[in-house]
A and B are shown apart, each in its own frame.
Chain A
Amino acid sequence: MKLDTLSKKTVVRALNSDGLRFKIGGFNVCLSSSVPAVAEHLLCLYGAFDVLDNTAFIDFYTALEPPSKLRRFFRPQVNFSFDGYFPFKPLPYKQASAMFEWGLNWCIASHSHQYLIIHASVVERNGQAFIFPGTPGSGKSTLCAALVSRGWRLLSDEMTLLSVNDGCVYPVPRPISLKNRSIDVIQDFAPDAVIGEVFKNTAKGSIGHVRPSDDSVALGEIPAQPAKLIFPKYERDSNTVLTPLSKSRALLKAAENCFNYNILGLKGFTSLSNLIDASDCYEFKYSHLEEAVALFTDLAH
């Protein structure tokens, strides 16, 4: 059953009692919260996800709750917890839903060492996964949202899960997180894209989330073969330039962009080396999204 098919009342009730259980790619998540805006966030962005009954194995029990009732009126805040553990300091109450996205990133990145986790967006076309590591200023999410809006399958916006067992990329097709100007850029580029509430004044500026395509969500458990590793760099008014990158350099650059490369030790090095073996590696400079999408669509033939 899709989340879309539930009424808002049902979602609110589930969030307020045992928690709402739903499936994101290979992960099952339970979220409980008394914050009303969280239900809106889920209905707007997670509509295509499957809701689970309470016999399912849950990977991550999460909750978003105000730290204390007393503070509700004076600078209200919200806490994210993972099965009773609080990994972060509280945030302003209004940012509860954004905190869920960050919190879930943390849950996955800290507890999924069966994968090498690269800080990168990953999208797929014609069976080929394109990986875009997210160095600062790369615009990986903008690029990712643009490609997905043109029919590419979203595997993940924030983290690429590379299995250390089979070398495939496993999807976590969650909403794509856009910052500041990128929100308008994508709204212009893809007027049909559904963008949720924009959270102002977060630590990362303004944040908006793009709803993942229904197809991407439906294929959430189907892995993809890595084909291209591309380090993007957004540069104002620049031409669209794709430059081959030596495999050794790509390896070191990618290692810097992993969440758990050091934890995995030799397995991390081997997995990353195998990824590099299987992928063409590039650096990519761009300012024009239309040209970028055309170039990659060509490359994926």
Chain B
Amino acid sequence: MFENNLIGLPIVPVIHCRFWDEECVIYNQLTGDAHLIDGMGAEVFKILSEKAATRIQLLQTINSNFEWEMDFDAEGFLDNLILEYQKLGLVDVTENTSA
């Protein structure tokens, strides 16, 4: 899933976010909805908000920033997270043309 894709904020600048400590509020200008995200979700979003990234890059970052139990499925977690963000219109997944 997403292997060769680039994950980033939508090109139309409708997503705005503010980060405070380990939390972040994301505002969708189109729908007027605000979402509160904390922990790993906020970390991932911070990366995406600065620059679009691939799934591998995101996995690397969360691997180096978080410690988790042996049986934690980091990839599954990330994929679900991205799907969720996509559903809310917070990120777009596009083909990675530079790869």
Contacts and interface: CB of A to CB of B under 8 A. Distances in A.
A248 B16 contact: no
A227 interface: no
Q: Is the interface of B mostly helix, strand, loop or mixed?
A: strand
B29 A248 contact: no
A252 B25 contact: yes
A202 B95 CA distance: 62
Interface in B11-29: 16, 18, 20-21, 23-25, 27, 29
Interface string B43-69: 000000000000000000000000000
Given A266-B16, A269-B16, A273-B18, A248 B27 contact: no
A265 B20 contact: no
Contacts of B25: 248, 251-252, 273
A219 to B, nearest CB: 32
A187 interface: no
Most chain A CB within a 10 A radius of its CB, from B21, B24, B27: B27
Interface stretch (B2-10, B30-38, B70-78, B79-87): B30-38
Given A266-B27, A266-B29, A252 B36 contact: yes
Size bracket, chain A contacts: 10 to 19
A291 B24 CA distance: 34
A249 interface: yes
Contacts of A266: 16, 27, 29
Contacts of A248: 18, 20, 23-25, 36, 38
Contacts of B18: 248, 251, 273, 276-277
A276 B18 CA distance: 10
Given A252-B34, A252-B36, A246 B29 contact: no
Interface of A: 246-249, 251-252, 255, 262, 265-266, 269-270, 273, 276-277
Which 7 pairs from chain A and chain B are nearest by CB?
A247-B20, A248-B23, A269-B27, A273-B18, A248-B25, A266-B29, A248-B36
Given A248-B20, A248-B25, A255-B34, 12 more contacts: A246-B23, A248-B18, A251-B25, A251-B34, A251-B36, A252-B25, A262-B32, A265-B32, A269-B29, A269-B34, A273-B18, A273-B25
